[in-house]
Structure 1
Amino acid sequence: MGPGPVGGDQADRPPGLPHRAGGGALEVIAVVVAVGSFAALFLLWRFYYFFRDPERRPPPGDDVLAPADGYVVYVHTVRAGEVPVAIKGRRSIPLEELTALPGIGGEGTLIGIFMTPASVHVNRAPIGGVVRRRVHRAANRNRSMARVLTNLLVGRRPYAEDCRYLVENERNTIVIEGDRLTVAVTQIADAWVSNIVCRVAEGDTIERGARYGMIRFGSQADLFIPAGVPIQVLCREGERVGAGESILARIGGNG
C-alpha cells in the first residue's frame, strides 16, 4: 500500500515551501514592538522634547528679536490698519481682528512665525520694556494649522493664504513699550493646544530676550512693529528663526 494522505496544513502547502512554525506569533510580536516603539517616541516628544527650554543668549544691542522659534510665514506691510492676507473671500483682515487689541490700527510691519511640532515652544520678548497691555481672546473652536505646515513643506506660497485660524483661533497679545520702540506680540493657538501660557501682566518690566510665555502643542506668534520709528526688516519668508536670538528688524535702519 502506498503512503496515506498527508494531514494538517502540509496538504495545502505547495511543494518546496518550508513550514514556519509560530509564524503568526512572530508577526504579532513584530506589530506589538512597532506600536510600542511609536508610542514611546510619541511620549518622549509629548512630555520631554516638546517642553525643552534651552538657554538663549540675545545678541548685544537693541535690535528686535524673534519672539518664537519656527519659520517666518509672512512679512506684511500694514496700511490703514489692514493686513493683506486673503481669508474667507476677503483680500485683507483688520489688524484689530488678528491681534484682538481694540483700537489698534495705523501703519507698520507684521511678521508671522509658525512653530512646527519640532520647534521650542517657549516665547521670548522681542524687545525690553514695560508691558502696557495684555489681552486674551477665547475661541469656540481652534482650527488646525496643518495647511500652513503643508505649504511650508512643499514650498507653496503665500504660506498663510486662506488660513482661517488667523482670525478664528484663541490668542493672547501683549504690548511692550521700550525706550525707542513699542511692539505687539500675539500668541495664536493651534487646534491641539491645551492652553496659552503668558506669565507677564500689565505694568511688568521684561528684559529683551527673556521668557514670558509658551503655547503648548503648536501654534504661531505674530510680531507687529508700528510705523513711526525707522526700522530695517532683516528676515524673509521661509526663513527659520530662533526665539531670543534671531534678529527680525534693526531699529534705525533703512526700512
Structure 2
Amino acid sequence: MSDLPPPRPARALGRKSIRPSLTPRDLMADEDLANVWTAQVVTLMPEAFPGVLGLSLTGKALKEGLWALRTIPLREFGEGRHRNVDDTPAGGGAGMVLRADVGAKALDEAIARARGDVPRLLLSPRGRRFDQAMARDLASRDGVVLFCGRFEGVDERLIEHYGLTEVSLGDFVLTGGEIAAQALIDATVRLMPRVLGNHHSAEEESFSSGLLEYPQYTKPAVWEGRAIPEVLLSGHHARITTWRQAEAERLTKERRPDLWRAHLAKLGRPEEDREL
C-alpha cells in the first residue's frame, strides 16, 4: 500500500506543440508542457540535472517531450547577501539544518507551476523505502515535486506545513537527495508509455510480479565452459515459461525472504512461510 496521497481526478489540460528544429532543444528549457508528466526538483545542486536522466531512453523521452524536468535552485531563495539556506540546529548539535522559510519560497514556486495531481516528496533517509509499487503510483500521476534534503535535514515545520511525504532509497545515508531524486525519476519515467519502446520489458522485470527476475542469457551458446540452459534453446514456450517462473521463485526465496513471504501470503500459502 502506498503512503502517497490518493490520486485526484485527472483533467485535460492541452499541450504545447513540439516542432522540428535545426537547433537542439534544451532538455530543461524553462517552459511548461501541459498534460506532460513533469518532475520539479528543489535542489541546492541544479547543475546535477538532468545527469543520467538526459542519457539513454530517459534522455530520448525527455527530448521527445514524453516527460519534462525542471529544477528550482534553492540558493536563489536564500537569506541575506550570501543567500543562506541553513542554520544551526535548535537545541544544539552537529551540522546545519535547511530553513523552513527558505524552503517554503522554493516549494511555493514549484506548487504554483504544478498542474493536476502532483505529490510532494522529500528525499530523506528516514522516509518510507521507495519501491516498484510507488514508482507505478507516481507514473500514474501528473508529475511530482521533489525536495532534495541536505546537511542534517530539513526544518520539521516545512515538512508538516506542506504535507511532504518522506521517501528513502534504503537504509543508508547520502550527502544529499539529488542522487535519490534521479533514481526515483528514472524508475518512474521508464514505466510510462513509449519510453521503453517494448512495454513487455517493464512487465517481466524484477518486482513487477512480486518476485526477482529470472536469469537472462544471450549469445554465445557456450562461454568459458558455461552453456545456456538447454530449455531456453528448446523453442518450447510453455517449458521456458515454467523454467523462468521456477528460477524467479528460487532466487527470491534465496536472496529476498521478505519478498518471498509476501509472495506466499498473496498466494494464500502462509504455512510455507513458517518453513523459512
Task: Give the TM-score range, shorter chain.
Answer: under 0.3
RCO higher in 1 or 2 (8 Å CA, sep ≥ 6)?
1
Q: Which has the higher helix share?
A: 2
**Greater strand proportion:** 1
Normalised by the length of structure 1, the TM-score is: 0.21
Task: State the structure with more CA Rg.
Answer: 1
